[in-house]
């Protein structure tokens, strides 16, 4: 990786991303290691989490390192203590920070003031660790990435943004269908389309789920209401009616299409119970691969090629 921090999937070049995926595949087969036995990860969270916290903790432990979890109440990021001060203090104690924040700008300030790597463990703009795990999962089930089509149905949120950029980097087509008021950020769309010109893929943004999934190899959705948007829940459920991934919609995709969801899922809203429990669903493979994708990121930021010489 050419950057100190991992805040956006587009911080990576196409080559960087492919190397990280290769690392993740190898690390998944290797089990526990001692490579980072002298390193400590600080988990700095403004939002609660199941998969993000546990996968990062286990990733660092499986690489031999130590983990410190810092809850919102313990730090009061930007309230009890300024973000620059938190970054400079943690730089004296630990070797890497994984931060889960409400605002992406908070991550950028952490990165600017920290002398150590900062990883985006989720922000309002992107979820790059999820996208890396998703690509790993697709590769495992499809055997390749280039030329495949991923259809994202629902809110053009942080997960959708990272997926659009990730697909463009590896030469996958990305179709997103959202209500007009919840479309993918125009800046992200433009950036993804520029990257796609070099990789030979297509990035399409529309409002009809049926058109988006037609012939798709992967059908992906996410919650209609993310953390911090709870007051909008009733309005969002009404607006997103017709954007549920159900068996009828899945039948329009490729017969061998897989279904993906980053979880937590609201069954009966963005996805039917029948689909998420079907043979095409790989949602728990995705959850598992958060662990291995994050091991790859940590090993690259903290150890580089010395940890996995066979991948170089």
- Catalytic status, residue 115: no
**Which is the catalytic residue, given 262, 269, 286, 294?**
262
**Which is the catalytic residue, given 53, 127, 236, 261?**
127
Sequence-ordered alpha helix ranges (H) in the chain: 14-30, 51-62, 72-75, 83-93, 104-113, 128-142, 158-170, 186-199, 209-213, 233-239, 247-250, 273-276, 283-302
**Which is the catalytic residue, given 51, 53, 100, 191?**
100
Q: Report the C-alpha gap between 138 and 307 in whole angstroms.
A: 25
Alpha-carbon dihedral 22, 98, 165, 181, rounded to 10 degrees? 150
In angstroms and rounded to an integer, the radius of gyration of the C-alpha atoms of the chain is 19
CA angle 101, 107, 109 (to 5 degrees): 135
- Catalytic status, residue 266: no
- Catalytic status, residue 100: yes
277-297: burial string, b at 16+ Cβ within 10 Å, e else: eeebbbbebbbbbbbbbbbbb
Bridge partners of residue 120, in order along the sequence? 99
Question: Are the CB atoms for 137 and 285 separated by under 8 Å?
Answer: yes
| CA 110 remoteness from chain centre | 19
Structure tokens at 286: 């995705």
Structure tokens at 241: 């009616």
Query: How many other CB atoms are there within 10 angstroms of residue 81's CB atom?
Result: 12
**Which is the catalytic residue, given 130, 244, 269, 300?**
130
- Catalytic status, residue 222: yes
Phi, psi of 135 (to 5 degrees): -65, -40
**Which is the catalytic residue, given 290, 292, 294, 300?**
290
**Which is the catalytic residue, given 23, 51, 222, 311?**
222
Catalytic annotation, residues: 100, 127, 130, 222, 262, 290
């Amino acid at each position: 990786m050419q950057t100190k921090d991992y805040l956006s999937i587009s911080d990576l070049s196409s080559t960087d991303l492919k190397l990280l995926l290769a690392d993740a595949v190898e690390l998944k087969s290797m089990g526990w290691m001692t490579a980072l036995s002298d390193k400590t990860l600080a988990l700095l969270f403004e939002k609660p989490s199941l998969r993000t916290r546990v996968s990062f903790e286990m990733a660092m432990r499986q690489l031999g390192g130590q983990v410190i979890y810092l809850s919102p109440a313990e730090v009061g990021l930007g309230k009890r203590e300024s973000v620059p001060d938190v970054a400079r203090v943690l730089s004296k104690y630990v070797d890497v920070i994984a931060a889960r924040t409400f605002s992406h700008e908070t991550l950028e300030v952490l990165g600017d003031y920290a002398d150590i790597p900062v990883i985006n463990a989720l922000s309002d703009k992107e979820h790059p660790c999820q996208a890396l795990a998703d690509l790993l999962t697709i590769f495992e089930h499809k055997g390749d990435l280039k030329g495949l089509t991923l259809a994202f149905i629902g809110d053009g949120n942080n997960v959708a943004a990272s997926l659009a950029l990730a697909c463009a980097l590896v030469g996958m087509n990305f179709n997103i269908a959202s209500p007009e008021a919840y479309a993918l950020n125009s800046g992200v769309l433009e950036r993804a389309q520029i990257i796609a010109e070099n990789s030979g893929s297509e990035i399409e943004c529309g409002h009809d789920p049926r058109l988006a999934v037609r012939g798709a190899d992967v059908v992906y959705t996410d919650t209609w209401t993310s953390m911090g948007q709870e007051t909008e829940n009733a309005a969002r459920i009404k607006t997103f009616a017709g954007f549920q991934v159900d068996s009828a919609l899945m039948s329009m995709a490729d017969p061998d299409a897989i279904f993906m969801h980053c979880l937590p899922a609201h069954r009966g809203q963005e996805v039917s119970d029948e689909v998420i429990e079907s043979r095409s669903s790989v949602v728990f493979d995705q959850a598992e691969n958060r662990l291995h994708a994050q091991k790859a990121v940590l090993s690259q930021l903290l150890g580089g090629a010395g940890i996995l010489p066979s991948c170089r």
